[in-house]
Amino acid sequence: MPSFQFPFQTNVYHGKVRDVYSIKEDWLVMIASDRISAFDVILPRPIPYKGQVLNQIAEYMLNAARDICPNWLIDTPAPNVSIGKRCIPFKIEMVVRGNVVGHAWRTYSSGKRTLCGVTMAEGLKENDFFPAPIITPSTKAAEGHDEDISKEDIIAQGLVSAEDWTVLEDYTLKLFARGKEIAAKQGLILADTKYEFGKIGDTIYLMDEVHTPDSSRYFYADGFEERQATGEKQQQLSKEFVREWLIANNFMGKEGQTVPEMSDEWIDTISKRYIELFEKVTGRKFVPETLADSITEQKINEALVRLKAV
């Protein structure tokens, strides 16, 4: 992934899977790379079309939720590029869970019944629905692992004011309900996801990607209840299958562990799973696009001029 230089660029941040360029004080150019991470580690090989998949699902979902809250997105000039408003981010992620799966299940199956200060009901099996969706926030770490944190600690530490928390909680539950509604129309269950928010002045904006396979977990609705009844493994569309493969190969991002070799066949499988999720979630046919870096840069510059950002 190249490192671009744009007019009036004030900063660039190379994240685990995205490169974010600040233009003046008001704009961000976010480039979704084909890098893939798990357990907060960037895996050694890129996944073809992953950046395009994430960017275009996020665009679709952000546009589908504009009536719920303001969001940062203004333009998508290239398949893997978004341009939008620069917000001051809250240093937390709003993780919302409808089902006992992933980290929630690992916590639950260890015998614990509290996650991020939220009490989980007794008698649940893996993948069961919670009686109602729960919000289990995490800190947003610049490096290393994000950490679970309770609402009470967030407010006590001054990460979010009590007034802003009320708004974040409201937006989070409404966005999750919208995500579940969109998923249901496509024969899917949105099991869990995360949202990131920031502020411009006194206004809270939804930021980053929304309801993508990197930030969300989906189950196939068809046969879900039957599989729960028989204890059969649920069919899911998410990045969890990559994590499961890593765990099966003795890697969880811990010190001394080595990322297993990723074969060409495995890379192709991951790419196809991402494309499958795009088509399943949006109901649209995925059209792969590969642009030369020079064309991507040109399209971004043209968009910045059009938006009067430069």
| Residues listed for the chain | 310
pLDDT for 277 equals 84
Q: Which residues of the chain have pLDDT under 50?
A: none
Output the pLDDT for position 143: 60
pLDDT of residue 141: 67
pLDDT, position 145: 65
Task: State how far the alpha carbon of 47 is from the alpha carbons of 20, 43, 292, in Å.
Answer: 19, 10, 17
**Interatomic CA distance for residues 138 and 64, integer angstroms:** 25
User: Which candidate, 141, 151, 176, 201, places its Cα nearest to that of 15?
Assistant: 141
pLDDT of 216:
92
- DSSP E strands in 91-158: the ranges are 92-99, 114-115, 118-119, 129-135, 138-139
Helix (H) or strand (E) holding 189: strand 188-200
Amino acid 133: pLDDT = 98
Sorted by where each starts, the structural domains of the chain and their CATH numbers stand as 9-88+267-306 (3.30.200.20), 90-238 (3.30.470.20)
